[in-house]
Every structure is written in structure tokens, then in C-alpha cells.
Structure 1
Amino acid sequence: MLSYILFIATIGGIYGLLALSLNLIWGGVGMVNLGLAGFFAVGAYASALLTTVGHGPIAAGWLIALVAGGVAGLVVTLSTTRLREDYLAIVTLGFAETVRLVASNEIWLTRGTDGISGIPGPWKRALGPDFNAVYFLIVVLALLVVFFVMRRIDRSPYGRALRAIREDAQVAQVAGKPVLRFKTEAFVLSAAIAGLAGALYGHFTSYIAPDMFLPLITVYIFLAVASGGTGRPAGALVGAYLVMTLLESSRFFVEWIPGVTAVQRAALKELLIAVALIVVLRLKPSGVLPERVPPAPRPS
């Protein structure tokens, strides 16, 4: 039972990183990124290939995942500089599907739909059954570092500039803010965090495959940020664990329903999650922890 709880808590922490990543650009700048699963996959495959094929250290794998996610984010941002709102969302969704299809078909690089197995975990053999507990602490440490950075950004003049762009990019540009540079920097940082989350996921499960990076992951993270509180890092974390709790608890609820098939159970599970989140958003339209915009400092 303890091992199962640690597993869920670790995956929840990884979802928390993805939620912080999405909250930075959606809650901070107002950019809709439907390709979060793609950056998640880029980081997972980059780290997995470096540590399995290249026999590199795990720490280097995490670092290369950060870089790979950031570079992918930079490429996507530079190719969509003139796109806004719905069009940006469509392009990022297409990017995620492109990554998944490349991973499925380029067998020489990604081993196709068979996936990459044997991804090493830090001190996994030496730790034995204690591996889940140690890895949970590693994920919590990464989560705290990213959360601290996000809070510092949120409360800084840089964060206020991002929110100004979110509210009205034209007004921010007239005020002298380099809107394109701010958007690019935020998107690259967000993609890098998603890449790190992918690397942590791969080294925890020891196996990755293209069907693990479906668009449904992006949907779950959007639900997490919306239910936790858009624009607030703490809300993103609360939402991530809320969604994770709903995902796992609904698994047990549908088992108690008699006379339904496995396919119907899967559909009922998604229905229960949807109903629960509708109730949360009905009671808390701005999320469990709504955004609190700190006042600007008074001039001395």
C-alpha cells in the first residue's frame, strides 16, 4: 500500500511540474499551448536515449531534457510569432502529434511503438524497494525548485509584465514592453520544465512508448490548472494533485458498479472525473486557489 501511495504521489509531482509549466504561459502570458504532451515526450526521449544508447549519467539526461524541451519550445515559438489564440493552439497541438508520430515510426531512433525499456533509475539496484521513496524525494525537490522560481517570477516586475501582456498585448507594447521577447522567453522556459517532467517520468517508470504521450495528458493538465487556479503557481500544484486524486479514486469507484464491461468502466471513469471537476469549478469558478495579483510597489 505504501509503495502504491508513493507511486501516485510521484506521478502527481510530475503532473505538478507540467501544471507549473502550463500555468506560466497560459496563466501568465495568456498563450494556449495544446502541445504540452509533445514537450513532455521530447524530454522523456532525449533523456532515455542519452542514458540507454549513449550510456550517459542520469543527471546529464535530466539536463539534456531541459535543453531539448527549451530548444523545441524556441522552434515552435519562432515559427508561430504571428499567430494568436486559436491558431497558436492548433499549431502546438499539431506539434505534439508530430512528435508522437515520429516516435512511433522512426524505429531506428525511438524503437517505434515497442518503446524504450531499461531506462535506468538513480541508485535503483542499490535501493531496491526503497527506490520509490527516494525518487519521490527527488521529484519533490525538483518541484520545489521550479515552484520557487515560478513564485519569484510571479512577484517580480517581469511577472507583472507577463500579466500585462496577458491582459492586452497591444497596450503592453505601446507601454514599451518587448512583447515578442517576453512571450518567447516564457514559452521556452515552460517547454524546458515540461521536458524535465518527461525525463523524470521516464527514469521513474523505466519505460516509455509513444502511446504514453497522448493529447489526453494535456487535457488533464489544463483541467488541473483551471481547477487549481489559473495564474497562481500554488493553485497549479493543488490542481495537479486534485486531478491525480480524482483519476485514481474513480478507478476504484467504477469497480463497484456491477454489470459493466471494461470499456464501459473506462468511459464511466472519465465521466466521474468530468462531473467532479464540474462541481469544483461550479463551487469555485476561479479555482481552489484563485489568482491574487500583488499590488505594484509604490515609488519611493
Structure 2
Amino acid sequence: MVGYLIFLTISTGIFALFSLGLNLQWGFTGLINFGHVAFMTVGAYTTVVLSLYGVPLIVAALIGGALAALLGLLIGLSTLRLREDYLAIVTIGVSELVRLIVNNQQLPTPNGLIDGVQGLQSYPLPLTNIVPSPLFKLVAIALLTAVAGLCLWRLWSWVRKGEGKRNTRFSFATRAILGILAVAFVLTIYITGLSALNDYSRYEKSGLMVVLLVVVALVFWLLEALVRSPWGRVLKAIREDEQVPKALGKNVFWYKLQAFMLGGAIAGIAGAFFAWQLTTVYPSNFEPISTFYAWIIVVVGGASNNVGTLLGAIVFFTYEEATRNFLPQIVPLDEARLGAFRIMVIGLLLMIIMVWRPQGILGKKEELTLGK
């Protein structure tokens, strides 16, 4: 059970990080990116290839994020002056182009060139080959406690000060119920992390889980600071009507490019964690469906709301695992048809949410970018 919860936490954290990058691009800036998985692909493969050559994993992940940002620069320089629908089409094409290049090219490794279709494996993973000392466990527990404390403090502020009521028009009772559910989730992850760290030899990915949670917290804090700064207010103005900031002397194209690159860098770092979780990477791991998942997470949680993105990731993976485990007992279909049926149900639920609450769970209707 502990191992399963660790896997679920890592999966949720990776796609929460991945979706935070998309939320910056679309939710705050209004840039429609249907090829977000391209950044994850670049980050994952760069991290893996560099780690095979002995580059420290942290450095390899940062370089992967930087190259993903560079990809964002190359895409942005040629496409960000296009209209939204053309930008969406170009990003889809770029994501498929990146995947097909990886699939059809030979990848350099210390043992020679490997065909991309064969994938990469046997690369170093973070914090798996160490013998944890009491100091290591103490630091890991302290980091996990800090992240859990930050989450609980944020939830308490949201319920007590009425932040949710102002932003989402929820009643106090609704906010309290959501807060209780979120507290239960945070405490479950915290207790799972403590149990795994105490038996590290059995749950070697518990260290990866702690590092991922810390990275998600840091990226969340950074984005919250940025979107509340003058820079973030310019992004929101661009999303609403880019002619207004342009009339005030702002370089709209440069701001769009910055948001596109930063969102790509975040997705690239998420790609590094994705590769570490899988332990082997293949081009088929980076198909357009991953971008579709990120869009579901952002739309369900609430565009232009980073807390909503985290909540959307939790809701999405709760649905994923619940249907994976319980749907076969209800619907008599084979595995292939069952997977297609689950996608159909996701689409149906998404349509219901769009009718009932188009701004998402925590989004503001006045900030909705759909249909603009």
C-alpha cells in the first residue's frame, strides 16, 4: 500500500508540475499550447543522456529545463505573432516533430549509438543507491514536514480568510468541506512519506517523492510571486487585451516569449522526474495524450489559479486510479476498449464541468480565457 501511494504521489506531482507550466502559458498569458509535451520530451531525454555520461543528476535536470526553454524560444520567435488558432496548430506539429525525431534518430550513449525506438534504460536514478544515514532521514523528514506545513497553512488561510469565497463564490461550508478533504490528502501523503523514509531500503523512491514535492512547492511559490508582481500583471493584461499593454509601451511579444520559455522550462524539469519515475523512456511515453491530460488538469482546477492546478492534478489522478481499479468490475470490456471508454468518460465529465462551472473549481469566471 505504501509503495502504491508513493507511485501515485509521484505521478500526481509530476503532472502538477507539468501543468503549472501550461497554466502560466495559457491561464495567465492566454497562449494556446497544444504541444506542451514537446518540452517534457526534451527535458526527459536531455537529463537521461547527460546522466549516462556522468553529469550530476541535478545539473542534468537543470540543463534539460534550459534546453526546453530554448525550444520555447525557437518556437516563440516564429509563432507568437500568430493568431491563437495558428499557434495551437504549430505547437501540435512541433510536439509530434520532436517525438518523431527522437523515435527515428540514434541517441548517443557511452556504449555507442542506440536507435531511438529502442528507448533509453539503465540510467542513474536519484537517491536510490545510497545508504540513508540518520542525518539524511532527518533532512528528508524536515523537508517533507515543511511542504506539508506550507500546504496546511495555505488551506487554513483559504478557509478562514474567505479567499475561496472571494475568488470562487463558494460558501463557507463548501470551503470547509474542500479544506477537510485537502487536509486528509496532505496528511495521508505526509504519513506515507514518513513510513517510506523509515523503511528506505524497501521504498527507495521515497527520496524521489520528497525531492519532487519540494520542487513542486518551490515552483509553486515562484509562480505565485511572479504572477502577483508587475510582470504577472502585464501577462494578465496581455491575456485580456494585448493592445492595452502595447499602448502603455510594454513589449508584448517579449513578455509572451518569457512566459512561453518559463512554462517550457518547468515542463522540461517535469520531464526529468517523469524519466526517473519510469526508469526507462521510450518515444511512446510522450504522445499528445499527455498534453491533453495537462489541459484537463488546468481546466478542471481553474485557469490562472496555481492552487487550482494542483487541485486539478489531484482530482485527475484520483479519477484515473479509481476507474483503473473499479471500472473493470462494473463495465465488462476488455483492456483496450476499457481504456477508450475511460477517455470517453473523461470527455463527458469535462463537458459537464464546462457547462456547470466553465472557470473550473477554483478559477474566476471573469478571468476565463476560453472563447476569447
Shorter chain as denominator, the TM-score bin is over 0.9
5 Å-filtered alignment, 1:184-195, equals 184-195=257-268
Partner of 1:6: 6
d(CA) in 1 for partners of 2:332, 2:300: 32
Partner of 1:82: 81
Identify which of 115, 122, 137 aligns with 1:118.
122
Partner of 2:224: 151
Q: Which amino acid aligns with 2:5?
A: I
TM, length-normalised to structure 1:
0.93
Partner of 1:297: none
Q: Which region of structure 1 is more displaced relative to structure 2, 249-258 or 173-182?
A: 249-258
Root mean square deviation of aligned Cα: 1.7
1:293 CA displacement: 8.6
SS of residue in 2 equivalent to 1:124: coil
SS of residue in 1 equivalent to 2:330: coil
1:171 CA displacement: 1.9
**Contiguous gaps of at least 5 residues in structure 2:** 109-113, 131-199, 368-372
Q: Which amino acid aligns with 2:303?
A: T
Distance 1:252 1:278, change over 3 A: farther
Partner of 1:234: 307
5 Å-filtered alignment, 1:59-138, equals 59-109=58-108, 111-126=115-130, 127-138=200-211
1:292 CA displacement: 8.8
Deviation string 1:203-244 (CA, Å, 9 cap, x unpaired) is: 222111100000000011101101100011111111112111
Contact 2:359–2:365 (CA under 8 A) maintained in structure 1: no
Deviation string 1:240-260 (CA, Å, 9 cap, x unpaired) is: 121111111111232113542
1:179 CA displacement: 0.2
SS of residue in 2 equivalent to 1:33: coil
Distance 1:11 1:96, change over 3 A: same
Contact 2:127–2:207 (CA under 8 A) maintained in structure 1: no
Deviation string 1:23-42 (CA, Å, 9 cap, x unpaired) is: 10101110001111111000
Identify which of 215, 218, 225 aligns with 2:291.
218
d(CA) in 2 for partners of 1:137, 1:283: 36
d(CA) in 1 for partners of 2:303, 2:220: 15
TM, length-normalised to structure 2:
0.75
Identity of aligned residues (%): 35
Partner of 2:49: 49
Contact 2:80–2:253 (CA under 8 A) maintained in structure 1: yes
5 Å-filtered alignment, 1:141-180, equals 141-180=214-253
Contact 2:358–2:365 (CA under 8 A) maintained in structure 1: no
Q: Which amino acid aligns with 2:205?
A: N
SS of residue in 2 equivalent to 1:79: helix
1:274 CA displacement: 2.5
Q: Which region of structure 1 is more displaced relative to structure 2, 13-22 or 243-252?
A: 243-252
d(CA) in 1 for partners of 2:280, 2:115: 12
Equivalenced residue count is: 293
1:160 CA displacement: 0.8
Contact 2:17–2:266 (CA under 8 A) maintained in structure 1: yes
SS of residue in 2 equivalent to 1:200: helix
Deviating above 6 A after TM superposition, structure 1's stretches of 4 or more consecutive aligned residues are: none
Contact 1:250–1:273 (CA under 8 A) maintained in structure 2: no
Partner of 1:21: 21
